[in-house]
Structure 1
Amino acid sequence: MSRYDIAIVGAGIAGASLAAELAPHARVLIVEAEAQPGYHSTGRSAAFWSETYGGPAIQPLTSASEEGLRPYLEPLGSHHIARADERALVDEYLAEFDGSGVLLEEVDPRERIPGLRDEWVYCVSEPTCAYIDVGGLHGAYLKTAKQAGADLRLSAGLESVVRENGLWMLRTRAGAFEAGILVNAAGAWADPVAAMAGAKPLGIQPYRRTMVQIVTDPEPPADLTHVGHIGGSFYFKPEAGGRLWVSPHDEIVTDPCDAQPEDIDVAIAIDRFEHCVDWRVAKLEHKWAGLRSFAPDRLPVYGFDARQERLFWFAGQGGFGIQTAPAAALIAASLITGNAPAEVVAGIDAERYSPRRFG
């Protein structure tokens, strides 16, 4: 039975980023249930970095991640739009980020978004919003981890987890392993993994989110940004070849699974898009769904379990796990190793993300 200092369950962006931080300092194992890492959430991401996404409690993590993400960012920009009767939402949005350092400006949406329908009269511009090369970022984390000695085992779904004699004994479809610390970076499966390890689940709930790729007539302008309803009912963003990605911003409660799009959610996405702009949907080219997982308070969970010894939670990262990955991994690595946090995250209160907040 191979022995490691740290075993990480899950090779999505959470597990990969943390492994890259830990591998230079410890012998790290990553066990992934699927045949490819990042299959359920990371590989189906909408792939943009927005400092306001996730709200003011997530923004410090997102802003602190910019430096680490910079090689994987490409300018995009964002416009958060609202109807005439939604002025209060605009004021609330601006107030939430007042003093945060996030660059926001109220602008006329008709000057920024061709074909916008008349009811959309308010707009907040977030020019720093950017595309993320998710595949490049995820691959770089895995490469860094493996070059530092981390061992990645794919098709290694957990069969049992037992703590004996101060060690975690893991039996997987790819073999048996021992580790001093068990990291739960299992995404939508975080609560089942915790239960398997003898810990109390935290109520981390998976949700399904739908995305469609469409062709429109006319084609979107070359300088189109990400466009989203400030009330959170849809967004769309340009992609290569004049395509658009459109989401109804849905969050459908689901069990952990290989999420698939439902026809009703695809129809809702297109309907909400057509009620925003007067562009005709000429073709629906592709549709898919991914999973996002939230703790009850919708904040991520970083830290050792309150009761189960040497079980570390790194989960509940919702739809912001990729855009916060560098900061999250630095914070988690500091908590695991006991080393001082990196300067870029030193001002972030890690305690607000601790699993101990649930009692």
Structure 2
Amino acid sequence: MTGALPSDIDVLIVGAGIAGASLAAGLALHRRVLMIEAEDVPGYHATGRSAAFWQESYGGTGVQPLTAASFEALAHPHPDFSDRPFLLPRTAVMIGRRDEAPAVDAFVAAFEAKGVAVSRLSSADLADHIPGLLPDWSEGAYEPSCRDIDVGALHAAYLRVAKRAGALLSVRTPLISARREQGGWRVETGQGTIRAALIVNAAGAWADAVARACDVAPVGIRPYRRTIAQVRLGVPTPAALPLIGHVGGDFYFKGEGEGRIWLSPHDETPSDPCDAAPEELDVALAIDRLQTVVDWPIAAVERKWAGLRSFAPDRLAVLGPDPDVPGFVWCAGQGGFGIQTAPAIAGLLAWQLGAPAPDGAIARVDPSPYARARFA
């Protein structure tokens, strides 16, 4: 938007990444919505730096209901939302060394119990999926439903639909402070003062800082740095290379065109909220770990970047009204799974804030495990 902020609004959403944009898209037909974004463009931080994939096991069994419920909206979006799907072909293989067989067995059992399509692989099966795999990596599990997500297209679609429904967006507009008055909020921003009936905290790594600025008790959401490098290999790789992850959490990598991969050491370095940058040591660690897994020579590191993944203490999303402060709503703590769960999270939260009930699988998700009140 250009010009001055509106003097009052029903719902002020702080943050215009995937969390804020998806909620605005679901709510704007039913409430007057304004998104404020501290950066010059929405999605600059975690959303814009994601190597996102839809993997039903990613994030653990507590996240899985949100991921599963989001699949239909990502794979078969309504024509008014998008004329093409946001999911692209992939598959995933979780691997372990010989002594990690019990961990792979436990992974398969946990997600089979949740109804996830996951199967144990023999060492011969693993070699078929991952050419050049070194002999010690003999344990594996296959997840055929894994897909890549076109993050840019998904985020742009949410922003487009939100705007079409009447939501406003103001960039370069940080929230400075807010206080309760007369049943609502008086909010000071970098672009002026506004009254809002509700504040939704969708500020990602800054979620606890936003809460403090509103005199709301923080949850303990902690940002962690995650590093990714685009690596050119000295050998070709299959066009259909799966997403390959370590059952112990030491790395993941996936193909990005012939002879290139995206590689991460799966680092989680505690960080203050910031414009995260990659550390050379983390890139070197990622390469070192890769070279213990496959016999692929490294030709060059072509790109490297880092982003912040923000987790609540129990590593589940924090969604819904604050139990102690009326009119303050949480949409935070999505860690690295916020994009693959965005349809479910936005549908559930928009419903709580005045939109019609969601359809299908989203309506069947129990929101209580993600409520802010669990930390009371």
TM-score by length of 1: 0.98
Match of 1:352 in 2: 369
In structure 2, which of residues 200, 206, 215 is the aligned counterpart of residue 183 of structure 1?
200
Distance 1:185 1:342 in 2: 23
Match of 1:9 in 2: 14
In structure 1, which of residues 84, 104, 128 is the aligned counterpart of residue 98 of structure 2?
84
Match of 2:216 in 1: 199
Q: Does 1:32 align with 2:46?
A: no
Going from structure 1 to structure 2, the CA distance change for 1:4 and 1:241 (only over 3 Å counts) comes to farther
Distance 2:160 2:232 in 1: 35
Q: How does 1:214-225 map to 2 (within 5 A)?
A: 214-225=231-242
- Percent of aligned positions with the same letter in both sequences? 53
Point out where structure 1 has 5 or more consecutive residues left out of the alignment. none
Distance 2:339 2:46 in 1: 10
Give how far 1:241 is off: 5.3
Distance 1:277 1:161 in 2: 53
Moved over 4 A (4+): none
Give how far 1:288 is off: 0.6
Q: Deviations over 1:240-277 (max 9, x none)?
A: 35321000001000110001111111110111111110
Q: Does 1:310 align with 2:354?
A: no
Give how far 1:338 is off: 7.2
Q: Deviations over 1:167-204 (max 9, x none)?
A: 21222122222110100000000001001111100000
Distance 1:183 1:69 in 2: 24
SS of the residue 1:103 aligns to: coil
Give how far 1:217 is off: 1.2
Q: Does 1:284 align with 2:301?
A: yes
Give how far 1:146 is off: 0.4
Distance 1:12 1:171 in 2: 21
TM-score by length of 2: 0.93
Match of 1:67 in 2: 72
The residue type equivalent to 2:103 in the other structure is L
Asked if structure 1 preserves the Cα contact closer than 8 Å seen for 2:238 and 2:258, the reply is no
Give how far 1:339 is off: 4.6
**What do you get for the CA RMSD once the two structures are aligned?**
1.1
In structure 2, which of residues 323, 334, 337 is the aligned counterpart of residue 320 of structure 1?
337
Give how far 1:101 is off: 2.1
Match of 1:210 in 2: 227
Asked if structure 2 preserves the Cα contact closer than 8 Å seen for 1:154 and 1:174, the reply is no
Q: Work out the number of aligned pairs and report it.
A: 359
Point out where structure 2 has 5 or more consecutive residues left out of the alignment. 1-5, 76-84
Distance 2:244 2:212 in 1: 40
